[in-house]
Chain A
Amino acid sequence: MTATRTSPPAKSTEKAKTQDGKPDKRFKVLDITMKRNQYRQDALIEILHKAQEAFGFLEEDVLSYIAHKLQLPLSQVYGVATFYHLFSLKPSGAHTCVVCLGTACYVKGGGDILKAVEEDVGIAAGETTEDGQVSIVTARCIGACGIAPAVVYDGKVAGQQTPEQTCDRIHGWKQADS
């Protein structure tokens, strides 16, 4: 399975440009990471992590750029990016709500939280609202079993959550942004 290419990969000699012609700072971050890893092919996962941090998700251009720089076939970079759950090839929302579904959280009602949130926001887990505000994600286990059920709001872990609390938090995001 390979990615269908829509645009030629950025050449290593020219910095990727944004629409207004200035060099894109995010590619600079990527370059620094690759340099620090001496362009080693076995550091691909580290580099993809950094790329996702800088770009928010793994755009196809970015994947081609990395493949080109590390001298790897694009199919291999794409294969690694699609294998691991944490890499996303789609843009995520401005806010992310991660519902943990580990065993402890599940036994204590993590599934009910997810159901309530999905109904409330109107999207399924793994999707982002149309306005690009909220993404709902599930996690296998975030290791906060002692305070189950746990939910991660924009990277901050909160324990002993209820469906109402979680929905309220998401409403809070929506109100703050509108």
Chain B
Amino acid sequence: MERAELLEQATVAKQAQKRIRIHCCTSTGCQASQSLDVKKQLDNAIKTHNLGDTVEAVGVGCMGFCGQGPMVEIEDADSPAEKKHYQKVTPEQAESIIGSLNGSGEADAIEGDPNHPFFSRQLLIVREHSGRIDPERIDEYLAVGGYQALHHAIYEMSPADVVQEITQSGLRGRGGAGYPTGLKWATVAKMPPGQKYIICNADEGDPGAFMDRSVLESDPHRILEGMAIAGYAVGATQGYIYVRAEYPLAITRLQKAIQQAKRKHCLGAQIFDSPVDFTIEIRVGAGAFVCGEETALIASVEGGRGNPRPRPPYPAVSGLHGCPTLINNVETLGNISPIIRNGAEWFAGIGTERSKGTKIFSLTGKIRNNGLIEVPMGITLREIVEEMGGGVPGANNVKAIQTGGPSGGCIPDRELDTPVDYDSLRELGSMMGSGGMVVMDDDTSMVQVAQFYMEFCRGETCGKCIPCRAGTVQMYQLLTKLLDEKATKRDLDRLKELCGMVQATSLCGLGQTAPNPVLSTLHYFEQEYLDLLQPDPITVAAANRG
């Protein structure tokens, strides 16, 4: 297929769209607030007002402001800058929203402010099409220039060029550890030719994180395109997407997207009539947090128990079925096509010196504006929480921000002016993680938070190595003892000792990072632990004797 043909398809798809598009969010969060009924009523109202020639209601992906859903946005092709959006729309309000378009009355719905910092401070790269296109129709993706980066890579670049481009962009793994993506690609590309695999890690097990789900539900083709480009770059012909079973909507949309892409020759054998083959299959997880760890994930894709194995050999050398395997997170793959499209220099110009590009965070917990934000690296936590998030509702103050899920830690309010990137968060004893950001206020007990995460790790450990299997249980029991106000200073010392041991001796990342929530709360909120301590009976007895 010539480039001209692809561009023509994009033009045709673009022309098929109506002048006024009414975007109605149909992601999991908004569907739970009856957004499908809203969409139905919008369709009905367009019919009754006879506006079918100029107006269409489009079911789109996530617009990010999940706490205020269902969201409805009106986009007029003649004045694209003037976007209106409504929040918490009910099916009954749909009629008046359509009515307001042809001047018959005002829309009877809560109108949001498109210039609110929550929107204006964002910089959209991975989520550029989220909430603007219908994820279930490939034409919508083609209309915004979809699959052109893949075409460009296959026909204009050599595999080595693609790897070089990704390396120069400075992109780092968005799964949380921040390993340079280009370096990983180069390792797999250097392996001798033969069967290689690409795996997209969509096992977003961190509680409090939902950015991967949102990207998969809102723009599934972007991930397929990123995987296909990766496949071309490293010489792999088979890809797997490992999705959590808890995300049924994402799975359905991915399946649809794969079928449509095959029909358009964007995937499958001989992509765009070139000699390049790349097929993608979906593998559904079954609810095990440890399967986000790459070696455990491979075991699970092979149909076995998700037990990690020691590294090296790294998956890049010997992974799925013993072949070189490239494993990237959803968000990492979502960055690939824009980098190929706009060049490495453009991407390297965003963010901080050592962390390039943007990061999606899911801002949740005790905060006014819940939802997803994509911000350039280097923005401060205060800007995120106070300006974009609107601070804590009610009279309370921010006490801490938990980042990085069970592997991360709590950052106290006094560190809010820290710029967010991989290295700064690690210095604070937390980590970027997948991007969950849970805001906690004065009412939250930090020891309870530590116990909550330890309970999580205790339940999710795979049991293969002793430090993690037994250590998490012991730490959980010590934390419970503290909260029951039965612990003494010796228990606290033992807890600290255990933390260090589990960190140093566990087999995989789950165990190595499990003590982080305890260590970081101990570091910043030690007084809360000390307040729970009881006098040690032995010391008391000795004092009485003395």
A binding-site residues for B, Cβ under 8 Å:
40-46, 48-49, 76, 79-80, 83-87, 101-104, 106-108, 139-148, 150, 156-159
Partner of B32, one of A40, A80, A141, A157: A157
- Cross-chain contact B283 with A46 (CB below 8 angstroms): yes
Residues of the A chain whose Cβ atoms lie less than 8 Å from the Cβ of B438: 103-104, 107
Q: Is B17 an interface residue (CB 8 A)?
A: no
Partner of B452, one of A106, A142, A147: A106
User: Is B460 within 8 A of A140, CB to CB?
Assistant: yes
Question: Closest CB of chain A to B363's CB: distance in Å?
Answer: 9
Interface mask (B251-275 → A, CB under 8 Å = 1, otherwise 0): 0000000000000000000000000
Cβ of A151 to closest chain B Cβ, rounded Å:
10
**In the complex, how many angstroms separate the beta carbon of B33 from the nearest chain A beta carbon?**
6
- The one of B245, B289, B303, B366 that contacts A107, using a Cβ cutoff of 8 Å: B366
A5 CA to B28 CA in the complex, in Å?
Answer: 41
B1-34 interface mask toward A, CB cutoff 8 Å, 1 = contact, 0 = none? 0000000000000000000000000001101110
| Contact between chains at A85 and B32 (CB < 8 Å) | no
Contacts of A106 in B (CB 8 A): 207, 452
> B324 an interface residue at 8 Å Cβ cutoff?
no
Shortest beta-carbon distance from A35 to chain B in Å: 16
Which parts of B276-310 form the interface with A (CB within 8 Å)? Answer: 283-289, 300-306
- Using Cβ atoms and an 8 Å threshold, which residues of chain B touch A142? 28, 246
CA distance A148 to B362 in the complex (A): 12
CB atoms of B364 and A148 under 8 A apart: yes
Q: Which residues of A contact B444 (CB under 8 A)?
A: 107
Partner of B306, one of A83, A144, A150, A156: A83
A9 to chain B, nearest CB (A): 19
By the criterion CB–CB under 8 Å, are B436 and A144 in contact?
A: no
| Size band of the interface chain B makes with A | 35 or more
Is A84 touching B440 in the complex (CB atoms < 8 A)?
Answer: no
Q: Please, which residue of chain B has its CB at the minimum distance from the CB of A142? A: B246
Max chain B CB contacts within 10 Å: which of A80, A144, A150?
A: A144
Residue of A nearest to B438 (CB): A103
B207's partner among A41, A45, A87, A140 (CB-CB below 8 A) is A140
Partner-A contacts on B (CB < 8 A): 28-29, 31-33, 65-67, 69, 204-210, 213, 244-247, 283-289, 300-306, 362, 364-366, 370-372, 402, 405, 436, 438, 440, 444, 452, 456, 460, 462
B501 to chain A, nearest CB (A): 26
A44: chain B residues at CB < 8 Å are: 303-304
Closest to B440 in A: A107
Q: Are B29 and A141 in contact (CB under 8 A)?
A: no
- Residue ID in chain A nearest B406 by CB atoms: A103
Which residues on the B side are within 8 Å of A150 (C-beta)? Answer: 32
A79 to B285, CA, bound (A): 15
A103 and B436 contact, Cβ closer than 8 Å, known pairs A146-B210, A146-B370: yes
Q: Which residues of A contact B304 (CB under 8 A)?
A: 44, 76, 80
- Which residues on B sit within 8 Å (CB–CB) of A46? 283-284
B402: chain A residues at CB < 8 Å are: 103
In the complex, are the beta carbons of A86 and B28 less than 8 A apart?
no
Chain A to chain B contacts (Cβ below 8 Å), 6 pairs: A102-B207, A104-B207, A106-B207, A146-B29, A157-B31, A157-B32
* B27, chain A: closest CB distance, angstroms: 9
CB distance from B90 to the nearest CB of A (A): 14
**Residue numbers in A under 8 Å from B204 (CB-CB):** 143
Cα separation A101 to B208 with both chains bound (whole Å) = 9
Is B69 a contact of A146 with CB atoms below 8 Å? Answer: yes
Contact A147 B303 (CB under 8 A): no
Given contacts A49-B245, A101-B207, contact A42 B303 (CB under 8 A): yes
Shortest beta-carbon distance, B443 to chain A, in Å? 9
Whether the Cβ atoms of B287 and A143 lie closer than 8 Å is: no
Which of A41, A76, A143, A156 is the one whose CB lies under 8 Å from B213? A143
Residues of A within 8 A of B300 (CB): 45
Pick the contact of A147 from B32, B206, B244, B462 — CB < 8 Å? B32
Q: Among the listed A86, A87, A141, which residue makes an inter-chain contact with B209, where contact means beta carbons less than 8 Å apart? A: A141
- Let me know if B405 and A144 touch, CB within 8 A: no
- Pairwise interchain contact A104-B365, C-beta atoms closer than 8 A: yes
Given contacts A83-B306, A147-B67, contact A140 B205 (CB under 8 A): yes
- Look across to chain B and name the residue whose beta carbon is closest to the beta carbon of A81: B286
Task: Please measure, in the bound complex, the distance between the C-alpha atom of A146 and the C-alpha atom of B209, giving whole angstroms.
Answer: 10
B365→A141 contact, CB < 8 A? no
Report whether B372 and A146 are in contact in the complex, using a CB–CB cutoff of 8 Å: yes
B289 touches A140 (CB 8 A): yes
Closest residue of chain A to B371, judged by CB?
A146
- Closest chain A CB from B281 CB (angstroms): 10
Alpha-carbon distance A127/B485, docked complex (angstroms): 30
Quote the shortest CB–CB distance from A122 to chain B (angstroms). Answer: 23
- Asked if B286 contacts A84 (CB within 8 A), the reply is yes
